[in-house]
Every structure is written in C-alpha cells, then in structure tokens.
C-alpha cells in the first residue's frame, strides 16, 4: 500500500458490481449515524460484502479517517485477526509492539468507518477484537458482515435478504421490470458475459421467472447469467427448472434458499468437464489468493495435464467460478467463500483431502526454500509475491505445527525471513517459537530457524532472547556444516552482545565469525561481518572505522543488488558523516537510503532516514522543512510502534530544538502537525527535495469565512482552475478527499457549481 494517501481509507476506488438495495442502504446509514456497531447478517451468496462496500463508499467521505476494509475470509487462524486489521489499516509490524496493541493505539483518536468482512468462521475472536476496538476508540464505527450476529454489546443487526423479485402473478411492464434489482443484476452479468444482452419484451418474462427461481440470490443469479454465453435465457431457465423440480419431487414448491444456491452451483459444476471439475475441487486447498504457478504445482495430474492448466483455469474464470484480480502487477486468483465450501465438499467426495494437503505443504515449502536466497537480491519482487501468498503460507505453517512436522515447518518459517523482518516481525516470532518448541527438525533447519529468530530478536532490541537463540543457531550450523550460516549467526550474536553491553563477548564472536573458512569470500557472510563492525564502531564513536566498514559494505551490496544491505550501509555511512560534522555529505547518502526504503516499503528505515534528513535540513537553516520531516517521521513511528535508534536520537533532539527555536512554539507545533498529515510518498518527495510543501496561509480566503483552512486551500485552487486530481497532487491528499472538500465547500456556501466557488474567491480578492 505504499504510495496511497493512507489516512483516507482503502476501499476499492471503483466497483462494477450492481448493488441496489436502496432500502437497506438507507437503514444502514441511519443506524451508523446513531450506533457504533452494525452487523449485516445473512447466508453466503446473498451480497453482504457488496452492500457493506457500497455503504462504506457512501459514508467514508463523511468520516475524517475515511472507510477501511478488513477482509477475514482468507484468515483461518483466530490469532491473526489483529494482524489482518493492522495490515488493512496500513500499519506495520516491524518492532516489538504486538499488532493488537498497535491497532488499538492507532485507533484511539480515529474517526473512521471500519468494515470487517466475513466474520462467521472466526466469530468469538472477531467479536472480542471489535469490542476492544470500540472501547478504545470513541470515534470508531464498525460495519461487520457475518452469517450470524457477533453478540457484542451495542450491536445492531440488519438482516440482508435476497434481492427483490419480480411479481409472481401479474406480468410487469418492461419499464417497471427494468427497475427490479434481481433483473438488473441478471441483465448486467449477461451483458458482461455475451457483450450484447438486452432485456426486451420477448425475453422479459423468462428473465423474471429465472430470477424468481433463483430466489433473488446474487451469486446464483450471476452463475446463471454467465451461462448465456452458450445458452439462451430460455435454455438456462429450462435446465435449472429441471434440476429444481428433481430436488422438489417434481413439484414447483420453493426450495430453501441455501438449497437454491447449492443447486445453482451444482448445475454449473455439472456442466464442467472432468478436468475442470478436478481443478475446481483442488483449488479449495488454497487458503487465500493463488497464482498460476501454484495451480500448476497443486492441481496437475493425469486427469489435469500440465499443458491444459492455463486453459482450464481461464474456463473457470469465464464461468465466474474463480475470481481473477491483479495484485502488485501480478495476476492472481481466489474462490468466493461459498464456492470454496462447495469445492471442499467435492474434494471430500473424491477422497482427495489427504493428497491435496500433502501437495499443498510440499509445494509451498519447496517454492519458498527455492526462492529464499535469491529473494534477498530481488527483494521488491519477492515481497510482492509474499503479499499474495502469505495466507496460504500461514495455513501450511499451522498444519505443520498441528502435525508436528517440524522440519518442513522450520524450513518454511526460516525462508520467509525477509518478510518477517520488513512486514511482520512479531508474527514471525510467534511461528518460529511454536515450531522450535516442537524440539524436532534437523541441524540445518534448526540453524536457519534459530538464526532468523535471533535476527528478529535483535530487531526488537531483545538481546536476552537473541543471544541464546543465536548461540543455538551457531551450534546447529556447525553440526550441519553450514559455514555461511555459522558466520552470520556469530556476527549477529556479536550485535546482540553489543546491545547487551557486553563488548568483550561481542569482540570474541566477531573474531570467530571472521575465522570461519570462506567467510571473506561469501557475500552474505562478509556483509554480516561488515555490518557488525560498523555498528561496533558507531557505539565506540570511531568514525574512521565506521566509514571503512560501511563503505566496503556499500560497494559489495551494490555489486550484488542487495537493497536491504545497501540501505543499512547507507544509514551507517550517513551516521558517520553526522558524527564527524560533515552534515552536507550526509544528505545524498540518506536520500538514496530513503529511496531504497521506499522501494521495499521498510517503514522503520524510512522513519530513520526522515529523521536524519530533518537534522540536515535544520542544520541548513530550513527549520520548517525540518519540522515537517520530523512530523512525518512521527507518523511512521506511531504506525509501526518503533523508536529512533540510539545513534540518531541526539540528532533528532537537536533538530527539534533548532526548529522550535526558529519557528516559535506555535509555529513549530503547526509545522509538526502539517508533517504528520503527509502521506508517506509525499513525505519522501519532500525529503528528496523534488517538491516544496506549500503551507502559506490563504490570504485570498479570509479567516472569517465559513471554510476551514484546508477547505480554503481547496477553494483557492478550484478558483485557479485546477482539477480534483491536480489539487490532490498540490496538497498531498487523495482525489477522493479533494472531492469531499469540494462537496463541503458547496454545502457551506450554498453553491452548486465550481464556477460559483471561483467567483466567490475572486470577490474576496477584490
């Protein structure tokens, strides 16, 4: 989510799905205006998610914090609900702050709408966290979707019925039928499937009958509509009616709605060929999103030849049985939760559950182990891949723990090290601790897992855990003959000893790391030694030693394309320049480091580089810029729960004091607040010097006007002829936020057009 104006919400920018439900939307708006928790309750396939998203889009602009979506459908472990909320709010688990604590702290002063979707399979844990969030955040509103109520104090339940149906007895005029929500959805989906469908006098009665037969269930209507690609509406109705009549003993009595949906899915399934059926049932093995390569790894068999995988998957997408999306430029797929349940039933009937679980475990463990080492040298792409796969990997880790499969579990958890370091530190610790507690695995898997666990403890400033864990890693590496891992474990152990104030032990460990055969020739071993030397020199105040180690580390990391290693060396080099008083030389180092931290979305490093550049700005007499950068760094700190490293802390204090003295207490507070409101990308742009933040008061819109300061800025730019998108770029806010400000301006001034705003501003200038 890097780059998003991240305090305005994360709802999809556009939706092509028909929603309708004007009555339910009006009721939800009323309830959310007066209550703090509203639950949309109904069976699967009834359209709860679409309705919640529509309400969120309608109400989000009226909440200062916007509307945010938390999707729980792919979360299987109740312990990970807080992680899902944290990720959806664009927070970051990179320190010792637990996700639940971070979420509650972030929400404390928030005034936002939080949509928590698909709570039913995690009901007790979801209800508890929602209750805790509501207690912690008086300005929070929650809209939950579930198949049953949460049973939380203050909850208002809104049942979600199927879409309204056409009249059953008297035919409706075509114009009236075109306003029926079931008919609208069918027509929209049929048109999307065929490119030419239209509701006419000749097919209106058949479409109306079909919608009635499908009980107005959105998912059932969509599955039927997509069949118009190869069948006429009359044929679709006839075949479905035959299926329904068979289930109801030949009569026309209405079936229970869940049976209607099951029957429609079953009909779509039966129209598939044997290879497509096999693929569909095996796709339920994915806990979340999946890629084509995953399908090839898990679904291939004599029944599903590898050369047909793409064709078969495309066929399931065309039939709306599988959903395709694009994430980080990667084509990925997932199943609607109702479809996943159906596929799981078919998998059990086929007796393939055990086979698929084993394939799933082996596929994901093998892929992650194969890519782990190379991932360090193409970290941007690797992390994007991890973002797509993480729910599947979590499911495999949980399965390994449940089955005491320590070897594969340890290898998998260790191979995700860069994800845990930059995205989910406390989560990685939980998985590794559970797996290491099994007391299984071989020497190599224990060496890798203990090293990653020790590294994470160092990141959390926890030497008491890091030191014995890294000792265990070194011992296992010696036993396994893993010389690189041995060097890394000894070097990281030296860092942990420094953190613990044990300089003699640190020196011994660093000397032992350098004595490991091959340590001078292996990049990863060498860079770990250089990093430890730089840290030790920084703590001693030895600028020359820091510079020597970091400069060598910089050269090596550039040669191999190690972005994480390079950003660390740039941080060390910049710190050495600050210590020596060559402040201007720090700027290019920290600016490059900031660009790298932005690319890999390393929030803690972004915070540190912003703090360093704030000191550089203050030293150059740019007090307002320094305050803006300190404010932006403070936001990053609060969103990750991190703190400033000890070597930068005194420079941060000096930058703050200098800016406060220059700007005065009130001016400093205002500049800090302006910096806090910047999106991450806007803060980076400001720090890199490619854009100046315009914070001068709007003289042309007086303080006595009914507009707030930001509204006044927007009004002035409207008068200058800028579009909403251009205004957003100028003010570092999202286009949606600009639209909300323009709407508020029109309402406050009693206007209906932008031209009237422009004329009003011009009148103030005369």
pLDDT for the residue 754: 86
Out of 419-428, 458-467, 512-521, 714-723, least confident range: 714-723
Q: Quote the CA–CA distance of 316 and 324 in Å, as a whole number.
A: 10
Cα-Cα-Cα-Cα dihedral of 25, 29, 35, 36, to 10°? Answer: 80
pLDDT for the residue 100: 95
Q: Quote the CA–CA distance of 580 and 240 in Å, as a whole number.
A: 80
The percent of residues in the chain predicted with pLDDT above 70, rounded, is 92
Rounded average pLDDT over 549-556: 97
Q: What is the pLDDT of residues 471-482, one digit of tens each?
A: 999 999 999 999
pLDDT for the residue 14: 52
The percent of residues in the chain predicted with pLDDT above 90, rounded, is 72
Give the up-direction half-sphere exposure of residue 658: CA atoms within 13 A in the CB hemisphere: 21
pLDDT higher than threshold 80 for residue 244: no
Token pair belonging to 431: 């998985």
Q: In what order do the strands lie in the sheet with 37-41?
A: 67-71, 113-117, 141-146, 37-41, 155-159
Q: What is the pLDDT of residues 254-270, one digit of tens each?
A: 456 668 888 899 999 99
Residue 498, Cα to own-chain centre: how many angstroms?
Answer: 35
Question: Do residues 630 and 659 touch, judged by C-beta distance below 8 A?
Answer: yes
Give the up-direction half-sphere exposure of residue 749: CA atoms within 13 A in the CB hemisphere: 24
Burial-class residue 440 by CB neighbours within 10 Å (0-12, 13-18, 19+): middle
Q: Quote the CA–CA distance of 406 and 384 in Å, as a whole number.
A: 27
Largest CA distance in the chain: 92
DSSP label at 708? -
Q: What is the pLDDT of residues 459-468, one digit of tens each?
A: 999 999 999 9
DSSP label at 93? B
Burial-class residue 22 by CB neighbours within 10 Å (0-12, 13-18, 19+): exposed
Quote the Cα angle for 610-616-617, to 5°: 85
Rounded average pLDDT over 684-706: 62
Q: What is the pLDDT of residues 13-34, one digit of tens each?
A: 554 456 678 888 888 989 998 8
pLDDT for the residue 692: 53
Q: What is the pLDDT of residues 379-411, one digit of tens each?
A: 999 999 999 999 999 999 999 999 999 999 999
pLDDT for the residue 108: 93
Bridge partners of 68, per DSSP, are: 114
* Residues contacting 419, CB < 8 A, separation 6+: 383, 386, 390, 428
pLDDT for the residue 684: 94
Query: 687-708: b or e for each residue (b if 16 or more CB lie within 10 Å)?
Result: bbeeeebeeeebeebeeebebe
Q: Quote the CA–CA distance of 283 and 339 in Å, as a whole number.
A: 10
pLDDT for the residue 721: 81
pLDDT for the residue 24: 84
Phi and psi at residue 616, in whole multiples of 5°? -60, -45
């Amino acid at each position: 989510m890097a780059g998003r104006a991240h305090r305005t919400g994360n709802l999809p920018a556009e939706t092509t799905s028909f929603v309708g439900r004007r009555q339910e939307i009006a009721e939800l708006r009323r309830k959310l205006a007066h209550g703090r928790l509203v639950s949309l309750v109904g069976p699967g396939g009834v359209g709860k998610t679409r309705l919640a998203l529509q309400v969120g889009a309608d109400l989000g602009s009226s909440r200062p914090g916007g509307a945010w979506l938390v999707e729980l459908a792919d979360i299987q472990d109740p312990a990970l609900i807080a992680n899902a909320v944290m990720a959806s709010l664009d927070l970051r688990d990179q320190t010792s702050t637990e996700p639940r604590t971070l979420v509650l702290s972030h929400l404390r002063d928030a005034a936002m709408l939080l949509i928590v979707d698909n709570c039913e399979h995690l009901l007790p844990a979801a209800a508890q966290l929602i209750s805790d969030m509501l207690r912690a955040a008086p300005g929070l509103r929650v809209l939950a979707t579930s198949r049953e109520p949460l049973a939380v104090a203050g909850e208002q339940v809104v049942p979600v019925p199927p879409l309204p149906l056409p009249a059953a007895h008297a035919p409706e005029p075509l114009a009236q039928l075109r306003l029926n929500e079931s008919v609208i959805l069918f027509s929209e989906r049929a048109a999307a499937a065929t490119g030419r469908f239209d509701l006419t006098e000749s097919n209106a009665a058949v479409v109306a009958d079909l919608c009635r037969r499908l009980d107005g269930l959105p998912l059932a209507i969509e599955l039927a509509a997509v069949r118009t690609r190869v069948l006429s509406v009359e044929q679709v109705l006839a075949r479905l009616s035959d299926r329904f009549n068979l289930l109801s003993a030949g009569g026309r009595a209405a079936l229970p709605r869940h049976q209607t949906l099951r029957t429609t899915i079953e009909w779509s399934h039966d129209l598939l060929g044997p290879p497509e059926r096999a693929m569909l049932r095996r796709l339920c093995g994915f806990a979340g999103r999946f890629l084509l390569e995953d399908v090839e790894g898990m679904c291939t068999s004599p029944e599903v030849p590898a050369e047909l995988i793409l064709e078969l998957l495309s066929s399931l997408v065309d039939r709306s049985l599988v959903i395709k999306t694009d994430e980080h430029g990667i084509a990925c797929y997932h199943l609607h939760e109702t479809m996943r349940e159906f596929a799981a039933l078919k998998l059990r009937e086929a007796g393939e559950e055990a086979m698929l679980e084993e394939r799933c475990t082996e596929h994901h463990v093998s892929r992650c182990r194969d890519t782990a080492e190379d991932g360090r040298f193409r970290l941007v792409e690797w992390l994007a891949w991890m973002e797509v796969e993480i729910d599947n990997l979590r499911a495999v880790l949980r399965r390994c723990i449940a089955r005491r499969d320590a070897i594969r579990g340890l290898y998998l958890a260790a191979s995700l090290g860069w994800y845990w370091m930059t995205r989910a530190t406390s989560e990685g610790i939980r998985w590794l601790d559970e797996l290491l507690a099994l007391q299984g695995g071989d020497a190599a898997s224990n060496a890798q897992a203990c090293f990653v666990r020790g590294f994470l403890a160092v990141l959390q400033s926890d030497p008491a855990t890091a030191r014995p864990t890294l000792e265990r890693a070194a011992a296992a590496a010696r036993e396994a003959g893993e010389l690189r891992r041995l060097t890394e474990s000894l070097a990281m152990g030296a860092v942990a000893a420094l953190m613990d104030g044990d300089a003699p032990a640190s020196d011994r460990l660093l000397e032992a790391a350098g004595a490991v055969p091959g340590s001078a020739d292996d990049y990863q071993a060498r860079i770990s030694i250089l990093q430890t030397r730089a840290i030790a020199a920084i703590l001693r105040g030895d600028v020359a030693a820091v510079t020597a180690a970091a400069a060598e580390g910089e050269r090596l990391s550039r040669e191999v394309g190690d972005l994480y290693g390079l950003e660390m060396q740039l941080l060390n080099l910049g710190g050495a320049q600050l210590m020596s008083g060559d402040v201007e030389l720090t700027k290019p180092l920290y600016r490059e480091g900031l660009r790298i931290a932005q690319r890999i979305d390393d929030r803690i490093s972004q915070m540190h580089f912003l703090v360093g550049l704030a000191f550089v700005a203050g030293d150059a007499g740019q007090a307002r810029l320094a305050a803006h950068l300190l404010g932006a760094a403070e936001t990053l700190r609060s969103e990750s729960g991190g703190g400033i490293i000890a070597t930068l802390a005194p420079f941060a204090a000096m930058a703050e004091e200098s800016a406060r003295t220059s700007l005065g207490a009130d001016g400093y507070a205002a500049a800090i607040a302006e910096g806090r409101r910047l999106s991450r990308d806007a803060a980076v742009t400001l720090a890199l010097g490619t854009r100046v933040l315009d914070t001068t008061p709007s003289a042309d819109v007086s303080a006595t006007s009914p507009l707030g300061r930001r509204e006044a800025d927007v009004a002035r730019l409207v008068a200058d002829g800028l579009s909403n998108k251009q205004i957003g770029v100028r003010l570092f806010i999202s286009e949606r936020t600009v639209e909300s400000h323009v709407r508020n301006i029109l309402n406050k001034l009693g206007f209906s057009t932008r031209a009237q705003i422009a004329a009003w501003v011009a009148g103030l200038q005369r």
